[in-house]
Structure 1
Amino acid sequence: MDTEQSPLGLDRAVPVLLVKVGHYPQSHSAVGAVRTFGRLGVPVHAMVEDRLTPTAVSRYLTRAVVAPSTGCEPPGQLVAAIREAARAVGRRSVAVATDDEAAVLLAEHAEELAPFLLLPPVPPGLPRRLADKGELARLCAAHDIPTPRALAPRDLDELRASAREWGYPVVLKNVGSFSRLRRPAVGATTVVSDERELLAVCPAGSVPSVLVQEYLPPEHAEDWFTHLCCGPGGEPLAVFTGRKLRSWPPGAGITTRARAVANPELAALAARLCRQIGYSGVADLDWRLDLRDGRYKLVDFNPRAGAQFRLFETADGVDVVRALHLSLTGRPVPRGAQLARSFGVGQVDLLSVAVTAWQERRPPRGSGPRRGTERAWLCRDDPVPALAEAVRFGGRVAVGLSRRAVGGAVSGVRRPGRR
């Protein structure tokens, strides 16, 4: 019925459930999803750690389903929690995964969850392969998608040999989606500059559960990403491209400042990969343009809504999660051009600006004010999540400072670096 449709054509009778696994209460991806659906009158329910997370206090959230987890629980227990959250919604809803682990479980247990959730027809084992850094490298090689040289070593000797062959520095990453929660080898993407640092991270006698990757120096590279939504068979419904300008920590980690930039070459490359592997659903792909050979090289494929997905929107009002809802409810997705926008992540971006300016002795690129900026937290029509984030952010800073004061600072060996 027309009365059930939003201005974009979204069916307001079909609610959304944001599905999460693990403990990350300060998720601007989830807040963005709540706002993008809630502003169009679509009911949004979200799995949250507690009722005071930024997501839970958004004015646009219909219901917070308190379902805390670490991600280390048995898969059956995690799937049961998703099923109970879906039942709490009261009617079949569109599932939007906000982390890799949730995406993996939704795909692998789609048949069991189908009575409660609308899910994209992605091959069941594909999200797990894409989230696994070693498997991703093999998939890219099979489909002629450029990547930095990468290897999931079988033992320490193979790890050391690869690093020596490629030359230091090299990049270390946790390999799989669940292993990063249960047995993280590194705290984050980590650059090691010599064998001494490598052995400090992966000591003799250990079996390294890491991916070692070629280091692309920042002076010879640019950071890009594609966010897209694909229908059955990997057919792209919405494809967006943009530049990553800053991150926290600087040079790695989450995007804190980005800009939407139309890049047909990169959009076509991402779309080709999704068609070839049959990926269906929302995805966030990280690329580095290697200026030495002019090739875009895929460094990560996140089979879920990316943290900065709200950077991207078309002139028709389509973003990737709205496209997913339209597709799963059998409605057409308008094919408008992407808008020129920028994206910022509040106080974390201020930290990135300050540290980068101190390290490089100059203001970082993109540090000035911009019109049309989508802010991760602060907005006039939904201010409370920004307040909740500020309180939690302040608490994290205080805890970090107190640990340093008592000598608990992490050594400089495991410093995060560029992908």
Structure 2
Amino acid sequence: MNETRSAAILLPNANYYGTLAAMRSLGRAGVRVMTVDPLRICHGRFSRYSSQHLICPPYENSSAWAEWLLMQARTGPRRAIYATSDAVSFALARYRDELSADFDLYQPSLETIMSILDKGLLMQNAQAVGIETPPTWFPENSTEAARLAKDAGRTVLIKPRSQLAQRTGTKGTVVKSCDQPVQAIFDSYMRDYAADTEFVKQSSVAMTPLVQKYYPEAINNVYSLSGFREKISGGMVLRAARKVLQQPRRIGTGLGFEPAPVDPFLAEQAKRLCERIGYYGVFEMEFILAEGRAMLIDFNGRFYHQIAFDVARGLESPALAYAAATGNQADVTRLMASGNSREQEDVAGFCNRFILTTMVNMQRIFRTMSSNDAACWLHWANGSDGQMVDAIKDPNDALPAFVDVGQNLIHFLRHPRAFFKQYALERVQARVERA
């Protein structure tokens, strides 16, 4: 291991898999990592690479969280900090000027971050540079939403215009416009909006959900383009993956990914979008591949869920973010050159093996999955096609995985009905082999 670097880094969201992956990547490189979270029990806290765990205010309370950071700065040396979630990204952008006096940041402006977090603005900017997006409508009320859904004559997706506008963090609801209560679902999102947050005060239109055409291909044919964009030169280093499994099944967080080639056309479009909105740093863009088109559905301007997959394939995004934040341009240049020159070819996929095997075994018990499909998924998760990267399990950093299992068991005991519905009764599609 390298000698410890001089500046430590604060990593929030210590219970996120992307944060844990960044901790391990930076810790192996000799960077001192401090975890930050409102929760005392987080799997990241128990990583061998967490030198200290700090309890902070909720990220959604941006002003209190920023003030807490400034108080920490008064009692210690200068440290770096990087965005690990939408809420953290917004807070760092909102208070960038104040925080940059005491912290090393690599943080785009508030205007840039709002162009990402507000899906209405994201789609406008994407379309302006020629990126396709799914047909989307922005109704002002539930009556208009029901009419638009009926006119669409198909299955639609009702989802928040921004995750930060909701208290519960629901990704969205798939409804058949002809026979489900669109108005009731739309109104439930309106009642759930986080009225007292700085984000909603910054963008009141974001509290109104949107209606979007739903593509069944979202289940297992989402193309992820991820990487790092350098601020000075605008240069990029990229990796691509295909999301093959998500939870919940129809719209949810990626549970399984396979490597994919970087599409030169989409890479150029991603570059143009970043240039237009002024984005730099670590990012992930998601495209639905359907009807012969690639349609942008999301842009994550922060560390993302499957970042360990990219690290294993030669793209050290966390190290790039750290080097850029601390002003080490030589390391930025070296890491970008290394990332662009090689990609590990023997990495077959990424998954959370514990969650996947739990889901498969429960669906076999409840006969919602065939034995052939179960065997296929388990062989894949166990590395039958090559090296698998696990979302949390690491033989050199074992404790976080045990904590994660415990947290999942506690969740099951507290919410048994939701657990059975999601793990046992919601069918996982057969794994499709790709050429």
Aligned amino acid, residue 288 of structure 2: R
Aligned positions, number: 390
Q: Which residue of 1 aligns with 2:171?
A: 188
Letter in 2 for 1:199: Q
Instruction: Name the SS of the counterpart of 1:97 in structure 2.
Output: coil
Partner amino acid, structure 2, of 1:79 = A
2:39 equivalent to 1:79: no
Conservation of the 8 A alpha-carbon contact between 1:227 and 1:284: yes
* Partner Cα distance (2:312, 2:342) in 1: 5
> AA paired with 1:80?
E
Aligned equivalent of 1:400: 415
CA contact (8 A) 1:234 1:279 kept: no
Report which structure shows greater RCO (CA 8 Å, sep ≥6).
1
Asked if residue 336 in structure 1 is aligned to residue 341 in structure 2, the reply is yes
CA contact (8 A) 2:136 2:210 kept: yes
1:262/1:83 CA distance change after superposition, 3 Å:
farther
TM, length-normalised to structure 1? 0.83
Distance 2:161 2:297 in 1: 12
Letter of the structure 1 residue corresponding to residue 211 of structure 2: V
User: C-alpha offsets along residues 87-142 of structure 1, whole Å, 9 cap, x if unaligned?
Assistant: 55x33333221110110111121110002222225232211221112221222122
Tell me what 2:394 maps to: 379
Q: Partners of 1:180 and 1:389 in 2: how far apart?
A: 25
2:433 corresponds in structure 1 to none
Q: Report deviation, 1:143.
A: 2.1
Letter in 2 for 1:343: F
Amino acid corresponding to residue 194 of structure 1 in structure 2: S
Whether the aligned pair in 1 keeps the contact of 2:246 and 2:253 (CA below 8 Å) is: yes
Aligned mate of 1:39, from 24, 28, 38: 28
Summarize the Cα distance change of 1:204–1:18 in structure 2 as closer, same or farther, 3 Å threshold. Answer: closer
> After the TM superposition, which residues 123-162 of structure 1 pair with which residues of structure 2 at under 5 Å, given as runs?
123-162=109-148
Say whether the 8 Å CA contact 2:129–2:272 is kept in structure 1. Answer: no
Q: What is the CA distance between 1:237 and its match in structure 2?
A: 3.4
> Which residue does the alignment assign to 1:295?
293
Q: Which has the higher helix share?
A: 2
Residues 221-300 of structure 1: matches in 2 within 5 Å? 222-232=221-231, 235-265=234-264, 266-290=266-290, 292=291, 294-300=292-298
Distance 2:318 2:401 in 1: 22
Task: Kindly provide the CA deviation profile for residues 30-51 of structure 1, in whole angstroms up to 9, marking residues without a partner as x.
Answer: 1111111111111111212344
Do the aligned residues in 1 keep the contact of 2:8 with 2:79 (CA within 8 Å)?
yes
Which residue pairs with 2:46 in the alignment?
57
**Distance change (3 Å), C-alpha of 1:240 and 1:355:** farther
TM-aligned CA deviation for residue 356 of structure 1: 7.3
Match of 1:15 among 8, 21, 30: 8
Paired with 1:233 and 1:144, the residues of 2 have a C-alpha distance of 24
Question: Letter of the aligned partner of 2:174 in structure 1?
Answer: V
Contact 1:43 1:62 in 2 (8 A): yes
Residue 167 (structure 1) shift: 2.2
Structure 1, unmatched stretches of 5+, are none
Q: Distance in 2 between matches of 1:397 and 1:94?
A: 36
Root-mean-square deviation (CA, aligned residues, Å) is 3.2
Deviation at 1:197, TM superposition (A): 3.0
AA at the equivalent of 2:245: R
Residue 85 of structure 1 and its aligned partner are, at CA, apart by 4.3
TM-score normalised over the length of structure 2: 0.80
